[in-house]
Amino acid sequence: MGAAVSETRSWLARVLPPAERAAALRLSCWSLTKLCNCTSNRVLGPFAPALGRLVGQSTQLITQLVGYNKVVFTLTALTAPAITARVGIERLMCSALGVMGVAMLLVGLVPQGALFGMFIAASLLQGLKGVFDAALQSLVGESVPVDRRGTYTGLVELAWGGSSLIGMPIAGVLLAVSPKSMFISLGIVQLIPAVGLRFLAPLPPVSALLEKIAIDAVPKPPLLSWMDVLSEPHVRQIAFGIMIVVAFVDSSCICFGVWLQEGRGLSTASVAAATVALGVADFGGELLATAVIDRLGIACCVRTSLAVCSVAAAVLAVVGDFPGTSGLAAGMVCHFFLFIAAEVSIVSLLADSATVLPQAGGRVEALTIAGIGCGHIIGAFVSLPLYLATNGVVAYACFASSGAVTVVAASWMAERRAATLLAARESRNELAAAPAEN
């Protein structure tokens, strides 16, 4: 018995070193909080018809709010570095959560006459998720060792798949039972962590926890400016790559429902059941990314996952119109692998943003989150017209081509990253050796 306990403790120490446990617990709490926040942001999409009836407006207007929400998301993400420098990362996250939670709570409490105006305000204020996400990525970068950031980025991003599997079904039930209860619930689950986590002591930086990592023990140079960050090709490649992948995923999400209903003639209930498979794919992709990024490396994960995305989209463009259940089954399998691979690439690129240019003060993470927002905007406004105009074939061919182009860019990015890390390592070694010589 004692040997088994000792072996278990030894395994736990390898998987989760003692120095990381405080950060792991805190980031797990933030991941659960992000699950609630993702659910609050995503209800506009699948529940647009029901929400339109609730506020007395058309479904088209509700879907347009999704695009405007992503514009706010993109713009606010770019403000995160300047604000975190003044108020701190976790205080900014709590403040953004508090504003979003109060807005959703008021939608459920205001009288019917003021409901539509409050609903528009709350929909736009949910775009503060851009600040929240950018600050959360900065927190990962500051509190987790370089060689473990892929794992912890995957842990945080499990919230997205969790919102598909847990948050959205619960929100749908609440909306069906009592529409305003959904808004009240979404407000409360954001306000509780906004208040509770605000009073916790901030996490110490990784350099204070892990003295064995020389790269973190060396004093960092002064913070880089926005122009310095934008002049780095690797940073631009991360932002552009994640924008393409997110546009690809959002386009596929939107086209998925149209493909099932218009192309395959399935009912709304059948489409809702089919989306559970995509939720499983999202969650599975994030689990896979958490497990493999730090083992295989970021560049390998990006190239491999984007290659799978391109192949899945190309095959889908061919088999999607096959008649009968064979075409439906083949299309579902293609979508499943497409979403798994896309999630791996997104998590990999987010982890990459937390490792490159540590002296940028969160600007790389903010730029990456802004790239995600731009991808959402492209997916919201471009995908459906392209799909409907070409019956899906040209749309998915474009998706596959964009994925192939991104694979090439990722390969070059990997080579560039290797050269950048080598130069950075040599520079830090020189800085570390200088005091010893003196």
How many Å apart are CA 258 and CA 255, to the nearest integer? 5
According to the model, what pLDDT value does residue 106 have? 92
Q: Which of 181-195, 249-263, 293-307 has the lowest mean pLDDT?
A: 249-263
182 shares its domain with 323: no
197 shares its domain with 231: no
189 shares its domain with 261: no
According to the model, what pLDDT value does residue 102 have? 92
63-72, 402-411, 426-435, range with greatest mean pLDDT: 63-72
Which whole number is the average pLDDT over 265-283? 72
Nearest to 228 by CA among 81, 348, 372: 81
Asked if 341 and 306 touch (Cβ cutoff 8 Å), the reply is: yes
The answer as to whether 32 is a domain residue is: yes
In the chain, % of residues over pLDDT 70: 68
Which whole number is the average pLDDT over 242-255? 77
CA distances from residue 4 to 9, 10, 15, 61 in whole angstroms, order as listed:
9, 10, 16, 60
Residue 322 scores a pLDDT above 70: no
Structure tokens at 396: 């998915």
Which range marks the domain in which residue 391 is found? 225-438
248 shares its domain with 362: yes
188 shares its domain with 266: no
Task: Label residue 429 by pLDDT band (50, 70, 90).
Answer: low
How many Å apart are CA 225 and CA 207, to the nearest integer? 23
Task: Label residue 413 by pLDDT band (50, 70, 90).
Answer: low
What amino acid occupies position 389?
A
Q: pLDDT tens-digit profile of 350-405? A: 887 777 766 666 788 788 888 888 888 887 777 666 666 666 555 555 555 555 55
162 shares its domain with 251: no
The answer as to whether 162 is a domain residue is: yes
According to the model, what pLDDT value does residue 303 have? 80
165 shares its domain with 47: yes
196 shares its domain with 324: no
The answer as to whether 127 is a domain residue is: yes
Residue 426 scores a pLDDT above 60: no
Which whole number is the average pLDDT over 242-247? 82
Which whole number is the average pLDDT over 162-167? 81
What is the domain-level CATH number for residue 394? 1.20.1250.20
In the chain, % of residues over pLDDT 90: 2
Residue 421 scores a pLDDT above 70: no
According to the model, what pLDDT value does residue 361 have? 62
54 shares its domain with 132: yes
The answer as to whether 76 is a domain residue is: yes
Which whole number is the average pLDDT over 400-412? 55
Q: pLDDT tens-digit profile of 90-112? A: 888 888 889 999 999 998 888 88
Q: pLDDT tens-digit profile of 166-203? A: 887 788 788 878 888 889 999 998 888 888 777 765 65
According to the model, what pLDDT value does residue 237 have? 79
User: pTM for this structure?
Assistant: 0.73
Residue 339 scores a pLDDT above 80: yes
The answer as to whether 297 is a domain residue is: yes
The answer as to whether 209 is a domain residue is: no
Residue where a domain stops, chosen among 170, 202, 234: 202
Q: What is the 3-state secondary structure (H, E, C) of 54-115?
A: HHCCCHHHHHHHHHHHHHHHHHHHHHHHHHHHHHCHHHHHHHHHHHHHHHHHHHHHCCHHHH
121 shares its domain with 241: no
How many Å apart are CA 87 and CA 240, to the nearest integer? 29
280 shares its domain with 429: yes
According to the model, what pLDDT value does residue 321 have? 64
How many Å apart are CA 95 and CA 226, to the nearest integer? 24
Residue where a domain stops, chosen among 202, 217, 237: 202
Q: Compute the mean pLDDT over every residue in the chain, rounded to the nearest whole number.
A: 74
Residue 304 scores a pLDDT above 70: yes
Residue 118 scores a pLDDT above 80: yes
Residue 418 scores a pLDDT above 70: no
52 shares its domain with 188: yes
Name the domain count of the chain.
2
Task: Label residue 217 by pLDDT band (50, 70, 90).
Answer: very low
Nearest to 152 by CA among 24, 29, 25, 33: 24
Asked if 102 and 118 touch (Cβ cutoff 8 Å), the reply is: no
The answer as to whether 15 is a domain residue is: no
Q: pLDDT tens-digit profile of 13-66? A: 555 555 567 777 788 888 888 888 888 887 776 677 778 888 888 777 777 787
According to the model, what pLDDT value does residue 139 have? 82
132 contacts: CB under 8 Å, gap ≥ 6: 34, 37, 93, 96, 97, 100
Residue where a domain stops, chosen among 202, 235, 253: 202
Task: Label residue 432 by pLDDT band (50, 70, 90).
Answer: low
The answer as to whether 152 is a domain residue is: yes
How many Å apart are CA 212 and CA 363, to the nearest integer? 27
